[in-house]
Chains A and B, each alone.
Chain A
Amino acid sequence: MKRPVIVLVALSLFIAAALSACGGAPAPTASSVQQAAPTVAAAVQQAAPTVAAVAPTVAAAAKAAAAPTTAAAPTAVAASGAAPKALSGDPIKIGVAVAQTSNTALLGQEQVIGAQIAEEFFNQRGGINGRPIKLVLQDTAGDEAGAINAFQQLINNDKVVGIIGPTLSQQAFAADPIADKAGVPVIGPSNTAKGIPQIGDYVSRVSAPVAVVAPNAVKAAIKDNPGVKNVAVAYAQNDAFSKSETGTFQQTVTDTLKLNLATVQTFQTTDTDFTTQVTNILNAKPDLVIISGLAADGGNLVKQLRELGYKGPIVGGNGLNTANIFPVCKDKCDGIYIAQAYSPELSTPMNDAFKAAFKAKQQGKDPGQFPAQVFAGVQVFVEALTALDKAGKLQTTDLAKLRSDLNKQALSGKYDTPLGPISFTPEGEVNQEQYYVAQIKMNSDGQTGKFVYVK
């Protein structure tokens, strides 16, 4: 009869798809393979409480690398088309713990691209004075438990010198204390909530806090729309970052700009229907709406606001600062004001080089803030390690000491990153010289668009 035939066809289609996918898939990176084969020894090591004592791989690596120091490697990487330099010695491992799965993977997958570009970029430029760097990726998924696992893997099994991650502030509050306790430097690539660098001595970030970045967008919106009196605010209340951001927004509205906060609406990052919130917002008759959420929820809120008749200006928080919202709110995204810590329109040799590398990998797309910040994080570690090597401190067998030296060195340096020049406060907070406000401009197809820098 028909039934078995249909089943057979479906099954074979499925298998064919699965098989061809395996063949056509990009080879998994060495790091992902490595993590797939935890040995018993590694597991035992993980159980040992003092991390410092067990550091055979790095010790060996350091010995092997003691000999070669190729030509004076550049500290400040100039963006000329330098020919790839020959690398030797065991690679220095830097951990990258971001969300590769779960619904946070949307952000995490951009961060992975930023990390991969950084690895290729810095290795092509001679690594750490001739010694290659290797990024070890661990998936944090979207929750706290995942971030903790990834951190423990990187610290105890992979024995990285430092970690870049995790993706969400919410995860940072859970996982960073573990690294801090183990004495492993952590650079937050996208954690912008209040209180991240204060977690501990070993925690810093390259992502400027919302309190500094966010108000710029509101000010730009008011400048373009001087008649604004009533402001409606909406935020994702299950997200630490959005909550922290809306605090800044609300303070800017009431304290700095002396405007009327007409309504505060809350939602969850997993929500897709905002009919109720939009009704409440429209009832408050606002002249400006400010939204703190992530791409899918924030984009849908914008779309539904516009479809149900809101015509005034909209300010979006950092979660909306990604091209991923274009397919959600489509032509309705047009005009959203967003403050940024990164702009692809910044023209410095470093950013031009980063942009070119990103475009080559992503079919001509402009990079967003997430890959740029991860790149900056890797850069901080690479340049700090290079400086340590020059001071002769890299040839140590003591991983704990190396981690602690790296932390000190990283915090004391100045870096010319794609974000512009940055440095750190002693606490680990980023000092960024330049911020940007952009407005979304959608193309006529309603599917693609760009962030246009507002002067």
Chain B
Amino acid sequence: MTLINVWQNILNGLAVGSVYAIFAVGYTLIFSILRIINFAHGAVFTVSAYFTYLLTGSAINTNGTLHKLFTDGFGAPALPIKLPFVIALLVGGLLAGLVGMLLDRIAFRPLRQRGADPLLTLVSSLGVAVAMVNLIQYFFGAEIYSYPANPFGNIPAAVNFGTADTPVPVRTIQVIIFFVAIVIVIFLTWLINSTKLGKALRAVSEDAVTASLLGINTDRIIMFTFFLSAFLGGISGTLVGVSVGVAGPYFGITYGLKGLAVIVLGGLGDIPGAIIGGIVLGLAEAFVPPQFVAFKEAVAFLILFLVLVIRPQGILGRAAVVKV
């Protein structure tokens, strides 16, 4: 393997890993507060991509129920608004945030209030995920949708990190996703460590009962966490949709397992850990030899297994202190 190949593989790994990372941040946020995995995150990821699609005024195909609804209501199979892509991206994220809050109300809070086993919450979130995916298919159909061409203006399709003679190209959208991932982590680290809200978040995460005794509205904090997780997941979902197309109702779900691997790898509930975990997984996949490339997931999960054996708390996680 030449040096140029190594460089290309590193960049490829960073590009792929940052997608895993921005997905896993959503898991991590919920996990850090509630100690549960929100399996519906993949569905939120997907639904936001569809929201953005709608907000850009794009048409729904005949296989989706919305096609008929919109045609009857607005005279065309699309919403009568046409937001610029970046605005649609943000509004789509906000709508996804609302879906996240709704999710808490429907699937998590009732169980939480009854002190249900975390495993039940897990199953409940899985149920909501399946229902959401099927609702998406019902409303939008199973087809692949894509955003209007050049959503970010006329930027080149790839950025060359090599020379003109030996190009080391990386797709521009992947560079964007990488930086968005970094911005999200910096923002969350600031929010959690340097704001009053962050203090409340940490308090609830430490001990919800004590926090509520101290006057923190824990339900509201948890709902905010769901909003934030879904909002960031929403932005990420749309960006991934720009990268690979909104490939049907299942497209977010496929990141679910990888996302789980990433947060375990990085350290459960650790936000910088989600980024580190994502990038480690991405790099591991990028360096899989060409003849085994279809088995890159197996390689990635083998690494996960090894990390767990050597360092059960993950790369950045702290060893759990047994509470007596």
Q: Which residues of A contact B (CB under 8 A)?
A: 3, 6-7, 10-11, 14, 17, 20-21, 24-26, 101-103, 105-106, 108-109, 237-238, 263, 265-268, 270, 272-273, 275-277, 279-280, 283, 295-296, 299-300, 303-304, 306-309, 324-325, 327-328, 330-331, 361-363, 445-447
Contacts and interface: CB of A to CB of B under 8 A. Distances in A.
A308 B158 contact: yes
A146 to B, nearest CB: 14
B107 to A, nearest CB: 13
Contacts of A20: 69
Given A24-B72, A300-B245, A307-B157, A276 B102 contact: no
A452 to B, nearest CB: 21
B158 A295 contact: no
Given A267-B293, A300-B244, A309-B158, A7 B101 contact: yes
B293 A277 contact: yes
B286 A275 contact: yes
Nearest to B72: A24
Contacts of A266: 293-294
Nearest to A308: B169
22 contacts: A3-B223, A6-B98, A10-B102, A103-B247, A109-B63, A109-B142, A263-B290, A265-B293, A266-B293, A267-B294, A270-B254, A272-B254, A273-B16, A273-B19, A275-B170, A276-B9, A299-B245, A307-B158, A327-B145, A328-B244, A328-B247, A362-B62
Given A296-B247, A327-B245, A10 B12 contact: no
A327 B245 CA distance: 7
Q: Which of B69, B146, B220 has the most CB of A within 10 A?
A: B146
Interface in B250-304: 250-251, 254, 285-286, 288, 290, 293-294, 296-297
Given A276-B293, A280-B293, A21 B65 contact: yes
Most buried by A among B15, B245, B297: B245
Contacts of B288: 276
B157 A327 contact: no
Interface in B31-81: 62-63, 65-66, 68-69, 72
A342 B196 CA distance: 65
B290 A265 contact: yes
A308 B171 contact: yes
Contacts of A273: 15-16, 19, 243-244
B110 interface: no
B149 interface: yes
Interface in B114-156: 134, 137-139, 141-146, 148-149
A307 B101 contact: no
B28 interface: no
A279 B101 contact: no
A279 B250 contact: no
Interface range, B side:
35 or more
A42 to B, nearest CB: 25
Given A103-B248, A296-B245, A309 B167 contact: yes
A330 B146 contact: yes
B69 A24 contact: yes
Contacts of A106: 142-144, 248
Nearest to A272: B244
B5 interface: yes
Given A7-B101, A327-B146, A328-B146, A276 B69 contact: no
A272 B167 CA distance: 23
A246 to B, nearest CB: 12
Contact of B149 (A25, A267, A331): A331
Nearest to B147: A327
B10 to A, nearest CB: 11
B225 interface: no
Contacts of B199: none
Interface in B156-171: 157-158, 167, 169-171
B205 interface: no
Nearest to A264: B291
B318 interface: no
A276 B285 contact: yes
B191 to A, nearest CB: 19
Given A21-B69, A308-B171, A328 B245 contact: yes
B8 interface: yes
B82 interface: no
A279 B19 contact: no
Contacts of A304: 171
A265 B69 CA distance: 44
B248 A296 contact: yes
B245 A21 contact: no
A6 B139 CA distance: 23
B240 to A, nearest CB: 8
Contact of A103 (B157, B244, B250, B285): B250
Given A7-B105, A325-B144, A327-B144, 7 more contacts: A10-B102, A24-B65, A24-B69, A24-B72, A106-B142, A306-B157, A308-B158
Interface in B227-243: 240, 243
A26 B72 CA distance: 13
Contacts of A303: 245
A105 B142 CA distance: 6
Given A10-B101, A11-B102, A295-B144, A275 B247 contact: no
A7 B68 contact: no
A14 B95 CA distance: 11
Which 5 pairs, one residue from A and one from B, show the smallest C-beta to C-beta distance? Answer: A266-B294, A105-B142, A272-B244, A327-B146, A307-B157
